[in-house]
């Protein structure tokens, strides 16, 4: 076992799936298809084997958090306002974080009947393209310096204090922040924060985004598999953009198949792989849970922090 996993207990999928005895999945095939990313693969069997035991574990963490808060209020002799249970989800580009996040959102909503479960992606905290261009770092979008981390920290602080917060929205179609749109987050019981940078904070080493998390999950896979998934996703993004001149990826649709593959490989190597190796993967051991995917996109191993 690699040194960075020393503080984790490795659990096979076979062992993990036996930790949850429920045989009914609380969503349909259609619902599952509607929430998965278009290049991701996930089945109802995966929900049953992996995600329902994970929901059980989240329940345990939430109960422990509530018990601690109650004990603290007794110690301080004052009522502590209830706070949202915040789950951070990180991992490489194209590894399937968004699908995991949306799936957890729907499963938490079905499990905790009266709970309000919100989800945000840190894409909304990227600086707008105009600012990135002004700073000469548009080609480093996704790298730590391209995010307004102070704004993200401020958002999480307000959420922990029970405030309503309006946050920016990012569009992958236009490849930029949408200036006339916002997402209002108002007093959730659960908040899922998904993004490649959620365990990082390069701007303020005294405070990490993950300091606000009650539970942290890292979605992992072998680098070669992630690269293949990225190349597949890039091609599918282009096929969707073919008839939409306003789509950022439309400009690439005029290229030959060989040129498209060259652009995809170049983007992967110089941007996404570089970002993964230098900034994303080194934060993996900050997670409480690592979900490792095999070549077929299925989770084959789970690592739990001891």
Q: Is 219 annotated as a binding residue?
A: no
Q: Is 198 annotated as a binding residue?
A: no
Q: Is 98 annotated as a binding residue?
A: yes
Q: What is the pLDDT along the chain (306 residues), one digit of tens a residue?
A: 457 789 999 999 999 999 877 678 889 999 998 888 767 788 999 999 999 999 999 999 999 999 999 999 999 999 888 899 999 999 999 999 999 999 999 999 999 999 999 999 999 999 999 999 999 999 999 999 999 999 999 999 999 999 999 999 999 999 999 999 999 999 999 999 999 999 986 666 678 899 999 999 999 999 999 999 999 999 999 998 999 999 999 999 999 999 999 999 999 999 999 999 999 999 999 999 999 999 999 999 999 999
Q: Is residue 305 part of a domain?
A: no
Q: Is 94 annotated as a binding residue?
A: yes
Q: Is 91 annotated as a binding residue?
A: yes
Domain span at 257: 3-300
Q: Is residue 306 part of a domain?
A: no
Structural domains of the chain, count: 1
Q: Is residue 36 part of a domain?
A: yes
Q: Is 90 annotated as a binding residue?
A: no
Tell me the backbone φ, ψ of residue 24, rounded to 5 degrees: -110, 130
Q: Is residue 76 part of a domain?
A: yes
Q: Is 96 annotated as a binding residue?
A: yes
Q: Is 223 annotated as a binding residue?
A: no
- pTM higher than 0.75 for the full model? yes
Q: What is the CATH number of the domain that holds 62?
A: 3.40.50.300
Task: Please tell me the distance from the alpha carbon of residue 146 to that of residue 279, in angstroms, as a whole number.
Answer: 13
Q: Is residue 41 part of a domain?
A: yes
């Amino acid at each position: 076992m690699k040194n960075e996993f020393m503080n984790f207990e490795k659990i096979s999928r076979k062992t993990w799936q036996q930790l949850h005895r429920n045989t009914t999945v609380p969503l349909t095939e259609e619902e599952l298809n509607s929430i998965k990313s278009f290049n991701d693969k996930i089945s109802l069997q995966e929900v049953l084997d992996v995600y329902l035991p994970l929901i059980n574990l989240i329940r345990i963490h939430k109960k422990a958090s509530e018990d601690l808060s109650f004990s603290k209020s007794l110690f301080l002799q004052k009522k502590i306002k209830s706070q949202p249970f915040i789950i951070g989800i990180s991992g490489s580009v194209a590894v399937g974080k968004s699908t995991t996040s949306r799936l957890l959102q729907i499963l938490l909503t079905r499990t905790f009947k009266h709970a309000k479960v919100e989800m945000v992606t840190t894409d909304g905290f990227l600086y707008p393209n105009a600012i990135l261009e002004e700073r000469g770092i548009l080609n480093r979008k996704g790298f730590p310096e391209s995010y307004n981390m102070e704004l993200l920290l401020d958002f999480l602080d307000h959420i922990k204090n029970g405030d309503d917060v309006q946050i920016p929205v990012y569009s992958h179609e236009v490849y930029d922040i949408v200036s006339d749109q916002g997402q209002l987050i108002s007093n959730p019981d659960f908040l899922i924060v998904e993004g490649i940078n959620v365990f990082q904070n390069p701007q303020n080493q005294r405070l990490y985004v993950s300091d606000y998390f009650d539970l942290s999950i890292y979605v992992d896979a072998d680098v070669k598999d992630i690269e293949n998934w990225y190349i597949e996703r890039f091609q599918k993004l282009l096929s969707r953009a073919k008839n939409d001149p306003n789509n950022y990826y439309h400009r690439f649709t005029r290229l030959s198949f060989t040129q498209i593959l060259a652009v995809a490989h170049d983007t992967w190597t110089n941007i996404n792989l570089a970002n993964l190796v230098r900034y994303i993967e080194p934060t993996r051991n900050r997670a409480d849970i690592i979900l490792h995917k095999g070549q077929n996109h299925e989770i084959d191993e789970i690592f739990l922090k001891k």
